[in-house]
Amino acid sequence: MIYFDNAATTKPSREAIEASSAANESVYGNPSSAHVLGAEAEALLKKSLAALGGFLDVSPDEIILTSGGTESNNMAFFGRNAKQTTFVTNYAEHASVVAPAERLRNDGYAVIFSSLLRNGALDMDALEKILRESRGAFLSVMHVNNETGVIQDMDEIGRLAKRYDAVFHVDGTQGFGKHRLSLRHVDLYTFSAHKIHGLKGMGALFIKKGEHSRPMFYGGHQQGGVRPGTENVAGAAAFAAAAAKAFANMRENALRVTSVKDALLQRIGDAVVNGENVSPYIANVSFVGAKAETIVNALKDKGICVSAGAACNAKKAKAGILSHYGAPDNIAESAVRISFSPQNTTDEAERCAEVILETMGLLRKFQRN
């Protein structure tokens, strides 16, 4: 089995599994309990939050643990106060951003979807016009796109947001632990464990001190009442362990996945590589003349895992994210996402390219006949 769907999820690291197992076996108390096991659980929870905060250079008190990126993104949107009447995002965002925005629009809020350029970057002139005319808006932008890997210029967007008093939310799900980002201009930041070899069901939302967030549900006092309920101590410990490994090896990991990605792209002939300023962890490639599903299924039959888009949309028919970049239909409908991790090898990349070329050769032969 060759796994090239790491933007959907990653294999849990040994460090994350061991951290979770140790916590579940030995530190299983409720961190809110007054006895010794509760105190031990609370200490491990605080240690994990301190580690996560340290990687982002923020206070652990500014981090709210969640069940993952989807919950964090929803919390960022629906946690706004009633005075927040205008929301700005774009249609290339993850479904957990686009869907809340559309729900808010249905509820009567002003929601504006900003335009994108053909290379996947935000149209900064159009965005500035929107923010200038909607001063004090809520702005949500993904750091690294989950389908194309396009990296947005967060510093420029952040400065623009502050110029017009916008509340700036960044979905860092695909960037955390892979690409460094200063949160100087960021008010809310989503990140997730299972994209960096942590465990599924564990995410977080950074909420800058002074930025109010209403709870989405109610109950106990945990996490300042913003996200009540008994904290997932083992998941937090595993998250911190995975993040520690990712940040310690960030440069080496980037070099490794770049070599794997290059080994693949250099061998797939005249395929169209989509996007500019793209993360080495993701390749969005169009095989004109084939449907994306044809390539995905051919690779699946050979034991190679890739996708035709985000996992959350994999079973739903849709035009594809490239249509929002202004790509023609033959490019958008033939796009395959191939995503990498440091666990991949150049031999795997070469095998993947071989199967793709075989499939395209058979398709062209069939089309000629």
- Is 249-368 a CATH 3.65.10.10 domain? no
What is the pLDDT, as a whole number, of residue 315?
44
**What are the residues facing 307 on neighbouring strands?**
337
Any residues with CB less than 8 A from the CB of 8 and at least 6 apart, and which? 307, 310, 311, 339
**What are the residues facing 87 on neighbouring strands?**
111, 138
| Share of residues in the chain with pLDDT > 90 (%) | 89
Question: Catalytic residues, which ones?
Answer: 312
Smallest Cα–Cα separation from 340: which of 235, 259, 261, 227?
A: 261
Please tell me the distance from the alpha carbon of residue 347 to that of residue 260, in angstroms, as a whole number. 8
Flag whether pLDDT at 2 surpasses 70: yes
- Per-residue pLDDT reduced to its tens digit, 4-56: 999 999 999 999 999 999 999 999 999 999 999 999 999 999 999 999 999 99
Please tell me the distance from the alpha carbon of residue 239 to that of residue 177, in angstroms, as a whole number. 11
φ, ψ of residue 190 in degrees (nearest 5): -90, 135
**What are the residues facing 144 on neighbouring strands?**
151
Average pLDDT in the chain: 94
- Per-residue pLDDT reduced to its tens digit, 258-273: 999 999 999 998 899 9
What is the pLDDT, as a whole number, of residue 313?
53
Residues of the chain with CATH 3.90.1150.10: 249-368
- Per-residue pLDDT reduced to its tens digit, 261-311: 999 999 998 899 999 999 999 999 999 989 999 999 999 999 999 999 655
Q: Give 316's pLDDT tier (boundaries 50, 70, 90).
A: very low
Flag whether pLDDT at 319 surpasses 60: no
Which of the given ranges, 124-128, 320-324, 359-363, has the highest pLDDT on average?
124-128
Q: Give 312's pLDDT tier (boundaries 50, 70, 90).
A: low
The predicted model gives 125-131 an average pLDDT of 98
The predicted model gives 239-252 an average pLDDT of 98
Sheet holding 138-142, edge to edge: 63-66, 203-207, 188-192, 167-171, 138-142, 86-89, 110-113
For the chain, what's the residue count? 369
What is the pLDDT, as a whole number, of residue 200?
98
What is the pLDDT, as a whole number, of residue 320?
75
What is the pLDDT, as a whole number, of residue 368?
60
Flag whether pLDDT at 127 surpasses 70: yes
What is the pLDDT, as a whole number, of residue 360?
87
Flag whether pLDDT at 63 surpasses 50: yes
Residues of the chain with CATH 3.40.640.10: 14-248
φ, ψ of residue 86 in degrees (nearest 5): -125, 130
- Per-residue pLDDT reduced to its tens digit, 67-112: 999 999 999 999 987 778 899 999 999 999 999 999 999 999 999 9
Architecture of the domain delimited by 14-248: 3-Layer(aba) Sandwich (3.40)
| Share of residues in the chain with pLDDT > 70 (%) | 96
